[in-house]
Chain A
Amino acid sequence: MRLLTLTPADSFFFKGHMMSEMGLPSQWSGLFPPRPNTVYGALRSAYIHRFSTFEQFRKGSDSQIKAWMGTPTRMGAFRQQAVLIRQNNELLLPVPMDYRIMRTTLEDGQEMLVADALTLKENNSLSNVSAGYTLTRGDQARRQGKDVDHSGHFVTLGQWQQAVFHHKQMQDIVSLSQIVDDYMKTGIKIDAATSRAEDSHFFQMKMLTMRQDCELVSLVPDDGPDFSEVPLVSLGAENRPWYLQQTEMEWSLWSSNQMQQLEQSLYDTSIARVILLTPLVLPEDCPLTDRDVPADWMWELINGVQVQLVTWVTGRPELYGGWDIVANRPKPRTMMLPAGTVFYVKVRQPDIPALLQAASGFTLFAGETEGRDHEGFGFAVIAGTQ
């Protein structure tokens, strides 16, 4: 795997889908981390700018550009696995949603965030959810504390691996405020005649600055295009510059010892956890979008490996969309499942070896989401249950 490290040269802002109309007082807070497609698009543009021209890209006349980056209407072979955050040279992964994050008070009066693993439990009650199982607080997680939303909470890769593998508590949870700082940028429109601020032409946007030792990283396959000679990427609102650096890295989520234990756990329980590390836009007509997911639906997780959905835990859906530069109009917007979403699936014993092959990372619904899997959506890993 290759790592494309992106460090902002200045403050930045990811606008999301907010409409900026002159004449309306507005306050925007943007979003962070950016959607994978935003980073994908920026990397694609930077590569074209460095090695060719946009005119050639439009015409499809440069064969290398066409092969890697495609054309305005078609994607090339360039593929991004995921967009993650790195702090002090260690990757941060979203806290899985089968953990309950809470603010708790320690004996010395200090407040801290901890995340306790939820337990799979049969759902015998009448409810608006049809799933036969749910994830509740086990004895360990019955402690008192205020629940905290998963959005914007991460743990280091090392702690994530240990906690998820052993169903242990997560501590040292990193909040977004430890990754980015913000400040408010204010704008007004001056009336040329009176030199006074025009009414209702006032806007404020929350600009972000990256904290020291933090950076965005894009995981790309080893056999992808070479970005080592691309020094800068224009990323986010106002096309602000980000420094780009390419390095090689070993991406292996589980150690060989853990893989053996994972295999054993899958044979013992037949239940696997599929944990999303990046958001997922579901394909159209996917049975997961049915109000009641069909109980007998067999989900082809990866080529030939079919599983049965036991239960899931997800957060409030996030908005996916963007601006279609070619058509000069907003792209159709839809909802995506946030990173950290977890599916519990029942696996068939003969499929376990193939499933283990994908344990360190694969893309859900690859080839079914109109290129979004190319952009780094739906990057998931496999873990066992207890």
Chain B
Amino acid sequence: MDKIDRHYAIFAIGPVQSFIAASRKLEDLWGGSYLLSYLIRHSLASITHICHERQMNYQIIYPHYTPEELAQPEGPSLAVANYPNRITFTLEASEESVNKLMKQLEAGVRNELVRISNWAVQEVFDDQTAEAQRRVARLKAQAAQQVEQFLEVNWIAYRCPQKEDWNRQEAERLFHALKGQRPMHYVPEQGIACTVYQRMDALCYELPVSTDRYGNMKKKLQDTWGKRNAKYKPKDLEDKDRARIRDNEFLCAISLVRRVARDFFRQEFDCDPHLFAKYESVVNIGTDEDGYYAVLLMDGDNMGHFFNGRENEVRNTSQQLSRFASQSVPAIVQEHRGVLLYAGGDDVLALFPVEEVLSAAYSLRVAFGEAESGLKGATASTGIAIGHKRTPLQQMLNEARELEKAAKLYTSSKFGDPVKNAFALSVLPRSGEYLGPAVLPWETEGIMLTKELTHVVELLSHVISTSFIYEFASTFQALVGSKTDFEPEYLEEMVLLECFRLIDRSVYDKSLRQELRQNLIHVPVLYRQLRLKGFIDLLKIMAFFNRKEKSSATIDINAG
């Protein structure tokens, strides 16, 4: 009989960035995140199934989901990508059995993606005619080759003679090392690149030949994509921009499966069709009148600390993160009328109406660090990019990513605050002026800064005219230096004096001046965090937020 050993296994799929980042539309973005999440869930189900069938002892360490949750996905969170891109688990079996299982998992995940790509091609190009059958067969073959080439699957099964934690750390170390030994492909692509994901050829049922010039190649593509089904074409000329696949979009297999993922999963889960409808377009975020929306990207800080403990501690961490991702995050996002694209472990990607984003960001941060809803004592950094609904989605994502990085670099040794644990905010107005980034801690000197910002925005809405901001900016813009650390001490007093003088002049109801001073008592704290340039930018950002607030009812000046 083969020797039974304990193995620590890691199974991961990717590439995450390429799968998600190259997105032209909201449904591309959602489709990429959801596909990865779905494939991991599929692999988790396979582990459970194979281990039961072969009577192998196993224990899933990360992510933590019960077999029931895996078997019966349902409810509003069904459409949310909330599985991370890797699984860690232990296995007690012979080396041969473990090897077989891991290879089976790899083959399973690859086959599943090919199945989805086959469905996508059939869905978009099939019209039951004999010609369509031939066309679809050719496209399926090209698509299968592309998804096989694209999907990265990395796994390791590390034999642990004893149940000791160093084995786990050693396995993690080895896994990271082996990721550097990527396969070295030679897969030449001969045609015109996909409009969305430039690394691969757009699907085309006629292969390019060596004598083809660009015009011929383009015509072949137009012929192919001109035969897509009516559902994916513009309904009329006026509607050409709203087509699921535009007339001049030519997609590779990866872009295609992301684009039609909503349709696939709607059919796969046989669920309420409206469940996936909110991923159609960013236009659906907030009200129809809203021209702007916010992209929020949150990431836990120093998560390595939480995964360095003993195995049961790691499993607890995993359980808490899973609960945060599957329960707390969807509830908070829904409460703030947002669209949740991804919530896996400590990562969150969601879109919000502008007026909701600060409050949502703070709620997510608080929930993340609390024992009941997340991981006790954990902190997180968040990037919040606000832009027009016509701003290219990729630009918004890049901006949110940069802001999250900026928040991660936050440090305030002056106040003894911890590194990271902050949020960064910027606005990309249509005018082209870039406002930000304003990087602030969630709390400082006992003040909740998101709440403080919301409060100032409310005051700007009904109590103070925003004109003071532009006067203030024009007065001090010339003093903005490139090195904020070297701003003279006296500048703060000067800036704040002038700021309050201008505010006094801008109050609609002069009798409220004294009371207003009390309401703006924390403004100096904001200045000290941001220094002059950041402070001016922040005021402009708040003036921008104010435009969103104008429609709300009159507020009480003392409202916190």
Contacts and interface: CB of A to CB of B under 8 A. Distances in A.
A286 B178 CA distance: 21
Given A128-B155, A313-B180, A334-B186, A21 B198 contact: no
Interface stretch (B67-75, B309-317, B389-397): B389-397
Contacts of B180: 97, 134-135, 313-315
Contacts of A19: 192-193, 195, 198
A327 B173 CA distance: 49
A329 interface: yes
Interface string B200-219: 01000000100011100100
A128 B178 contact: yes
A186 to B, nearest CB: 7
Contacts of B390: 25, 202
B78 to A, nearest CB: 31
Interface in B152-208: 153-159, 171, 173-178, 180-193, 195, 198-199, 201, 208
Interface stretch (B36-44, B112-120, B241-249): B241-249
Interface stretch (A6-14, A54-62, A117-125, A376-384): A117-125
Given A126-B157, A314-B180, A317-B182, A204 B392 contact: yes
Contacts of A199: 241
- Residue among B180, B188, B189, B212 with the highest chain A CB neighbour number at 10 A: B180
A147 B419 CA distance: 17
A230 interface: no
A217 B24 CA distance: 36
Interface in A311-341: 311-317, 319, 321, 327-330, 332-335, 337
B304 interface: yes
A329 B241 contact: no
A223 interface: no
Contacts of B157: 125-127
Interface stretch (B26-34, B98-106, B274-282, B445-453): B98-106
A24 B180 CA distance: 36
Contacts of B214: 328-330
B560 interface: no
Nearest to A313: B180
Interface string B128-157: 000000000000000000000000011111
A222 to B, nearest CB: 33
B263 interface: no
Contact of B181 (A129, A283, A285, A327): A129
A23 B248 contact: yes
Given A125-B156, A127-B155, A127-B156, A319 B198 contact: yes
B432 interface: yes
Nearest to B392: A27
Contacts of B159: 124-126
B273 interface: no
B213 A329 contact: yes
A213 to B, nearest CB: 18
B195 A24 contact: yes
Interface string B68-106: 000000000000000000000000000100110010001
- Residue among A111, A125, A311 with the highest chain B CB neighbour number at 10 A: A125
Contacts of B558: none
B299 to A, nearest CB: 11
Nearest to A147: B176
B146 to A, nearest CB: 13
Interface residues of A, number: 62
Nearest to A291: B183
Contacts of B248: 21, 23-24
A384 B506 CA distance: 72
Contacts of B186: 282-286, 289, 334-335
A249 interface: no
B245 to A, nearest CB: 12
Nearest to A341: B184
B413 A109 contact: yes
Contacts of A335: 184-187
A285 B409 CA distance: 46
B174 A312 contact: no
Contact of B156 (A18, A126, A337): A126
A157 to B, nearest CB: 24
A334 B411 CA distance: 43
B181 A312 contact: yes
A123 B174 CA distance: 8
Given A21-B248, A128-B154, A144-B304, A136 B187 contact: no
Interface string A176-192: 00000000001000000
B407 to A, nearest CB: 14
B481 interface: no
Interface in B254-275: none
Contact of B190 (A21, A25, A97, A332): A332
A253 to B, nearest CB: 23
Nearest to B158: A125
Interface string B363-400: 00000000000000000000000000010101100100
Contacts of A167: none
Interface in B403-418: 409, 411, 413
A95 to B, nearest CB: 13
Contact of B177 (A121, A333, A334): A121
A200 interface: yes
A77 interface: no
Given A26-B392, A109-B419, A332 B188 contact: yes
Contact of A136 (B155, B174, B217, B394): B174
Contacts of A314: 180-182, 184
Contact of B193 (A17, A144, A282): A17
A32 to B, nearest CB: 16
Contact of B173 (A137, A283, A312): A137
B199 A319 contact: yes
A282 B95 CA distance: 35
A361 interface: no
A105 interface: yes
Contact of B195 (A21, A134, A288, A289): A21
B304 A333 contact: no
A131 interface: yes
Contacts of B98: 126
B177 A18 contact: no
26 contacts: A17-B198, A19-B193, A19-B198, A24-B248, A26-B392, A111-B409, A121-B177, A125-B159, A126-B95, A127-B155, A127-B178, A128-B153, A131-B181, A134-B178, A136-B174, A137-B176, A137-B177, A200-B241, A312-B181, A313-B180, A315-B182, A329-B212, A330-B192, A330-B217, A333-B199, A337-B184
Given A121-B177, A289-B185, 17 more contacts: A16-B198, A17-B198, A18-B198, A23-B246, A25-B24, A109-B413, A125-B157, A127-B174, A136-B174, A200-B241, A204-B392, A315-B182, A327-B213, A329-B208, A330-B214, A333-B188, A335-B187
Please name the 6 residue pairs, one residue from A and one from B, whose CB atoms are nearest each other, closest first. A313-B180, A289-B186, A136-B177, A126-B157, A127-B156, A334-B188
